Amino acid sequence: MRWIFFAVILVPVLSLWAMPGQAQQGSMTQRERLTVQSPILTIDSDRIFNESAFGLRVARDVEVQSAGLAAENRKIEAELEAEEKRLTEQRSTLDAAAFRDLADAFDQKVQKTRAAQAAKGRSLSQMVDQERSLFLNAAGPVLEELMQDAGAAVILERLSVFVSANAIDITDEAIKRLDATLGSGKN
C-alpha cells in the first residue's frame, strides 16, 4: 500500500521534473538556468544558514564572544574562590554573627554574579536568534526567485518531507545565491 501511495504521489512530481517546463521556453538568462524544474522543491534551512557566508560569520562572532565570556567566567571564578578562601581564613578571628554577615554578603555576591553571567549567555543566544531571523527575512526574495526559476509553487523544509528525490533539493543553489546576494551580512 505504501509503495502505491508513493507511486501515485511521486511519479507525477518526478515526471514534471524530468519534462521541460514552460519556464524553460523562450530566452532564459543565466540566472534562470536551473537544472531543477519541479512544482515542489525542498531545502535544508539549517544548512543554508550554517553553511552560508552569513551563517559562518555569525558562528565566528558567537565563537569569539563565547570565548570572551568563558574567559571572563574563569577570571570571576578565580576571584570568587580567592575571596572565599580569605573569608574562610577569617572565620577563626571573627565572632559567629560577624562571620555570618560576611558569608551572607559573599553568597549574595555569588548569586548576583551568576545571574549576570547567565544573562550574558542568554543575550548571546538571543543575538544568534536575531541574526538567524534577519537572515531568513533577507533570504525570502532569493528563495522566491529560485522557486520561480524552477517553476515551483512551494519550497518545503527537507527535514519535514518523508521521501523526496534529491534532485528537487535546492539547498546548494540557495547557498550560492545567498552568498552572492547577502554575503556575510556585514558591509
Phi and psi at residue 41, in whole multiples of 5°?
Answer: -125, 160
Which cell numbers hold the place of 73? Answer: 567566567
pLDDT tens-digit readout, 79-90? 999 999 999 999
Between CA 113 and CA 134 the distance in angstroms is 31
What integer pLDDT is reported at residue 17 of this predicted model? Answer: 35
- Express as a percent the part of the chain with pLDDT over 90: 71
What integer pLDDT is reported at residue 13 of this predicted model? Answer: 39
More confident residue, 52 or 27: 52
Beta strand residue intervals within 118-179, DSSP E: 154-157
Residue among 53, 24, 21 nearest 38 (CA): 21
Q: Is the pTM of this model over 0.85?
A: no
Q: Residue ranges per domain, the chain?
A: 37-182
Residue among 13, 68, 150 nearest 142 (CA): 150
What integer pLDDT is reported at residue 187 of this predicted model? Answer: 64
Write the CB contacts of 155 (distance below 8 Å, at least 6 apart in sequence): 41, 42, 43, 143, 146, 147, 170
What integer pLDDT is reported at residue 104 of this predicted model? Answer: 95
